[in-house]
Structure formats: C-alpha cells, structure tokens
Amino acid sequence: MLSKEGLFVVDIYQEWSGPCSCLIANLRRLKNELGDDLLRFAAAKADTIDALEKYRGHCEPCFLFYAGGVLVAVVRGANSPKILRTITEQLQQEHKVIDGQSERKEIKDPYISQLESQEKLDEDDQEKEEEDAKSRSQSRFAKEGKKEITVCLIKPDAVAAGKVPEIIADIEAHGIEILKNEERHLTEEEVRSFYSHLQEEPFFDELVSFMTSGNSHVLVLTKGRTGENVISEFRDLIGPTAVEEAKEAKPESLRAKYGEKTFMNALHGSSSEDMAMRELAFFFPDYAAPPAEGKPKLQRTLALIRPDAFKNHKEDILATISEAGFKVAMQKEMQLTREMAEEFYKEHKGQDYFEELITRMTCGPVLALGLAREDAITGWRHMLGPTEVEKAKSEAPESLRAKFALEETKINMLHGSDSEETAKKELEFFFPMEQTVAVIKPDAVGTKDEIIDRIHESGFRIAAQKETNLTRELAEEFYAEHKGKEYYDDLVEHMTSGPTYIMVLSREDAVQGWRQVIGPTDPEKAKEENPDSLRAAYGKNILQNAVHGSSTAEHADVTVKKIFGDLKFAPDGTVIAEDVPEQQEKKEGEEDTEAGEGKEPTNETNEPVLSEEPTEKTQQEPVTTSNTEKEQTAPEFKEEEKKEEEPPKEDATKEESKPAEESKPAEEESKPAEESKPAEEESKPAEEPKPEESKPAEEAPKEEEKKPESPKPNEEQKAEEPKSEEAKTDDAKVEEAKAEESEPKTEQTESNEEQKPAEEGEKKEEEKKEEEKKEEAPAEQG
C-alpha cells in the first residue's frame, strides 16, 4: 500500500498508549479543506508489525510520512501545527514528483539512526572487549599486580534529581567497591575530549550541552580482591544505553530506574579495559589502581535441607543461596536410612533431641549441597542463624532457620558445617571420593589453561593427564556406546582431527559434579540453562562442544583403563605410585646377584628374572665396580669356587672382613650354603670330573686376578695376605699365570674358552686340588 503514489501519513503507536486521538479532528478537517486524493492517513501498531520493531518503546507519539514507498519526513510529538505544515509541504512535493518536476528525497528517522549508532557502538565495544579477552589470558591490571577498575559517571540529570545516594547504595549492594567519588562540573572542552569517539554522531552537540548543564559525579569502582570482571559486571548492572530499551529489556537496571531518555540515561560506565585506563587517566591522572590481593581461595561447606523444608521450600532456599553468591558445586537428593542418620549425627547421641532429630532426617528425602564461596563456612552459618529455632526467631528473624521453621518441632530445618575439618568429613559422607574422565576436545585445546583453571576452582584434583592424538580405533573404542547413532562417524572424525587432552579428575561426587561444570551437550542450551558452564563459554555446536565427561562411575572406570591402564587411587584422590614396589624388586634382585654369579640364585621368591639383570651388569662392568661392591661380591665368588678353592682361603677372608660386612644380606644368605657344602664335596671326588665342572675352575682364577686390578682397602688386603701365604701352591701359580695371559680377552672370548674341553694337564691339577680339599675340609670343620 505504501508503495503507491501519494502521501501516506502513518501514526505509529503501541498498544499501551493507542493512536493519537487528539489530532484526528484536525487531520480530517485538513483533508476536507485540501480535497486531495493523494493524501491518505493510517495507524500502525508497532507491537505486531516486525518492520516497526525499532519503534517499540520509542512512540511518543510518532508520525511517519511515506511517498511512493519511501520515508520522506518524520514528526515526533503531538505538535498539530508542525504536522499540518509538514503534510502541506510534502503533498506539494509529491505533486511535483508526479509531474516530473522533482525527485523524492528519502530520509532516515534521525532518532532511530541515533539509536542504531549507539547500538553499533555498544556492539563494537562488546566485540572489542571479547577480542581483548581472547588476545590475552591476563588483564593489563593483573599483569601489573593491580586491581581491575572501571570508571562511572553519574550524569547531570541524575544529580539534579537527587538520585546520587540511591545510585551509590545500589552499586554497593551488588558488592562493588567505590574507590573514589568526586563531584565535578565538566567544561565543554572536557566533555568534547571525553566523548571524542562520538564526535561524528548527529547528537554530539546535544550530548555536550547536556553534560555541561550541571554537576556530575565521577566514581572509580572495583570489586573483591582482584577486581576481576568488574568492567563487564558494572556494564551489565547499568543496562542498555537507550533508556527505553533498558526499561523493556532490563527493568531492574540502573538506567531503567534512573534514566530519562537516549543519552540522558543517568550513568556511564567504561566499555573496556583500555577505556577504563584512559578514563582513569583523564579524570584522575595521579591516581593509581590499588594492588590486587591475590585470587581468593574458595572454601567449601556442606548444606543440608532437611525433608520438611525440602518438600515445602526447596526453590525459595535455593534462590536465597544463589542470591548470596554461593556456587552449588555438588548436589544430591537422597533418602537417609536410620543407620545413616545415626552415623552422621553420632556426636549428638544421648541428647534429648536425638530421637526426634533422627526421625526428622529419615521422614523423607534430604537435599545435600556442596556450597563454594570465599567464606563459605561462616557465610552459610550466618545465613542459617542460631541452632535453636526460638533463639533464631528472636535474634535473627531473617535467618533461614527462623523463616522456614516448623511450629510442631524444635528441630531446625537446615544444617551447615561448623569448621573446615567438619566440612571435609561431612562432604565425604554425602559425596564420597570418586574419579571421572574429563576430555578437552580438539576444538578447545587452545583454551586448555583456562579450562584447567576452572577445574581447580571447582574443587577437582587432576590425578592423571595426557595430551594425545587419538587414533580412529581408540576414538571408536572410546565412544563405543554411541556406535550406531547418526552422529557417531562425525564424532569420531572430530575426535581424531587434532590433539586431545585427557584427564582423570578426583573429587567427591566427581561424575555428576563434572557434568554440572561442563553443562548441557548443546552449547546454545547451556547458555540458557547453565550460562557459567564450560560448554556455554567455549562450545561452538553440539559436535564441537569443547569438553566431554563420563556419564557414570562405571563408564569412567572403563575409560581410565583404556587410556591410562590399571590405576590405583589413594583416599585423597591421588594416584598411588607404582615405583615403590619396583624399587623393592630391584633391591631383591641385587641381593640375588650377591648370592652368586655362576648359578641360579637361591631366593625364596623363585624369581630368577629379577636376579638376571644385575648379574649381567656385574659381568659387563667389572672394572667400574666400587670397592664396596667388590667387598660384597667377594663371598659370591667364594661360594662358586668352593669346589676348586681351598676352604681356608674363604674362612680367612670371611673372618678378616666380617666386621665391615656382617650387615650385608649376601653373606647372611651364603652362610647356610657354606655349612651344607662339605657333605656335597665329600661325594664329588669319587665322580669323574666333567667338562661342565671345569667352568668354575676357570672362573675362579679369572675373578681372583680381576680383583687386584683396582685398589682395595686395607681390610681387603689383609684378607688376601693369609690367602696368598697358605693357598698359593705351584699349581695355583700356574693357574694365575694362565689367567694373566688370558686377561686381555673379552668376556665373550672368555665364555667361548670356558666351553672348550679342559686340557689333560689341567685335569690332573684339578684332581690334586680336590684331594687337598678333602684332606683339609675336616680340619677346617673341626
């Protein structure tokens, strides 16, 4: 209709106000006087027409003039003379256009243009703020060790209306601290400089005139110990720039409560960290932001909503908890048995109220909450009020125990831990320690550090972690429970597209707790239902939703075994290290080595594998063996050489070195072997010596010759002196000479020579040694 030739005058209105009826008579009279068929009138409800969406909240009233489908004029307000004059002028112009004497000039509604410009500025500020947040993990304030601050202007309209005390009270009620507050009358030069980024806007001169019309208050704000996020939180508190939009979209915002219209919106707040620093330097060039006090440490406490309160007041209590700034880290609804209730309240047993307390705790389901806040224990106890209901009603009528008390019982309806130690025990009672698997998917690995910070803030302990590129086989096994679903292939493809960070998290009620932290699968749904969740913050879509968590404890156990193997966990959630038993095995292996090189160790555990590694090490590195090791290995060689060496040599060595070595496990193990040896030796001379039996004979002189190569302590030398005096016969000297000749050979050559048949001369010498042993052994035992 509007695209036809002619002039259409449209009255834009909203349902709450209706059309501008006071001008209807004047418009009819004008149409009758002019008698022009090109003039038409219409009324349009902005509430129901999408094309007029921007006029919602901005009808005051408003008349739009359309010619040939384009906007040619706008008149705001019920200004009858101006409307009639505009109709006459535009009607004449439309006739000229139809006659070809002129062209239509399309315009934009200046007011809507102004709103769009402001919205664009806000969007740009928001985008810039988001870009700044992505480009740096730490704010400039934090890097300098300073609190984050923002600058607030209470504009002349609010100051003139006497709203400053109310505005300050609202700001402080939201936990925001006012560091500086100065009243100033801004000069035109100051305003133009301060709002220089808006100087191209059509309303700039009006803005300058307004800001210089009276006094303003300049405030420097921060929050908490670090001031983190105070800029965005204050922007959210003051609401949208346009007052009409603020009243409709955020009626509780400060601009909705105290603003008038457009830029007369009562307050200004810094749009970004850079703007905050610029504005701080502009108003307070000599002021420095205070130092940050460090990141607050979250405290956890247990809150119990007993059955009666849970049944009747659950939502009210949860809303109060949220308003007080508590974060519900864990939540569980459960029915307590009498035994569980008695165990939990066992310290109250014997009190007059004990039976009634147990009855109340078991009459229905309770809601157990793990609350987190900087001062969670004292804060929650303060909200609860005194333990006795009557005392709570008289001394703290606004406390939860007073508000939700039952008349028929003296038992209060809520419980809270009274100390950190008690809180830990009570949380473990309702939320036992368990493990879950957390996965940072390839699309979010770049934000790994931020996600890990959130994990720690939520009270989780990272028991094990691994960054890896999943193979397709492992990804398919990892998501086996989803096999057959339409998104399965896409999921596997995504999980193998890049590095994945996998963690085992430990905490009370870890499975459900982690799923609460990550939020719903769909990031869009997460933003609505759980805006603080990880998927709301880092997820892109259902497939690329940043993180994953096990659905059940059983599923977590299976996944842990697939990725990390068979881990064992301590009561505090840490992984029990497996290196302790390995060290014990190593020690046992060393003891086995000391028991002898030439034969299989005679340990009680029957684990020859453990003794093989240190034995090989001893053979391969004889030269680098320390003196202490040599002292320990001396008895080893003696045990192996008993069949070929003279027993007095062993005894003399043992007696001399016993004071230094009596604590060595090798000697303790070798003693029983020595006592049982003579019986075996008596039977061996009757047997014909075999080639295999000659190996120890060859090894003995070899080892004896190796020993003098490195310097020995005095005790060892003393042990060798009687040995050389009593035992060095002509035959032994021959053997030593042979050993010296074969010493340069490698161990491999020596082992090959050990396998060769012994020469006839050597066999005779060995037989002589055996006869000498037989004669001297009884004397030794005696």
Q: Which residues are catalytic?
A: 268, 415, 548
Return the structure tokens found at 614: 């240190």
Encoded amino acid at 617, one letter: K
CA distance 504 to 460: 10
Q: Look at residue 447 and give its three-state secondary structure.
A: helix
Residue whose C-alpha is closest to residue 141's, from 238, 50, 235, 270 = 270
Residue pointed to by tokens 């064992």: 568
440 φ/ψ angles, rounded to the nearest 5 degrees: -95, 115
Terminal-residue alpha carbon distance, the chain: 134
CA distance 589 to 510: 41
Residue pointed to by tokens 């295999």: 692
Q: Can you list the positions of beta strands (E) in 270-311?
A: 299-305
299 φ/ψ angles, rounded to the nearest 5 degrees: -115, 150
C-alpha neighbours within 13 Å on the C-beta side of residue 81: 0
Torsion-angle region of 57 (φ positive above 0: left; ψ -120 to 50: alpha; else: beta): left
Identify the DSSP state of 145.
T
Return the structure tokens found at 82: 């101006």
Q: Is 461 known as a binding-site position?
A: no
CA distance 509 to 433: 6
Q: Is 654 known as a binding-site position?
A: no
Q: Is 320 known as a binding-site position?
A: no
Q: Indicate the Cα dihedral angle 385, 387, 391, 392, nearest 10°.
A: 30
Q: Look at residue 597 and give its three-state secondary structure.
A: coil
Q: Indicate the Cα dihedral angle 563, 569, 575, 580, nearest 10°.
A: -110
361-to-243, 314, 315, 353, 722 alpha-carbon distances in Å: 51, 15, 19, 12, 86
Q: Is 628 known as a binding-site position?
A: no
Residue pair 148/140 in contact (Cβ under 8 Å)? The answer is no
Hey, CA dihedral for 229, 232, 236, 237, is it positive or negative? positive
Other beta carbons within 10 angstroms of residue 110's beta carbon come to: 12
Q: Is 241 known as a binding-site position?
A: yes
Return the structure tokens found at 723: 């040995």
CA distance 416 to 646: 81
Residue whose C-alpha is closest to residue 301's, from 461, 386, 458, 416 = 416
Exposure b/e, 258-293, CB count within 10 A at least 16 = b? bbeebbbbbbbbbbbbebbbebbeebeeeeebeebe
Q: Is 265 known as a binding-site position?
A: yes
Residue whose C-alpha is closest to residue 266's, from 158, 170, 404 = 158
Length of the chain: 782
* Binding residue ranges: 155, 203, 235, 241, 255, 265
* Binding residue ranges for ATP: 155, 203, 235, 241, 255, 265
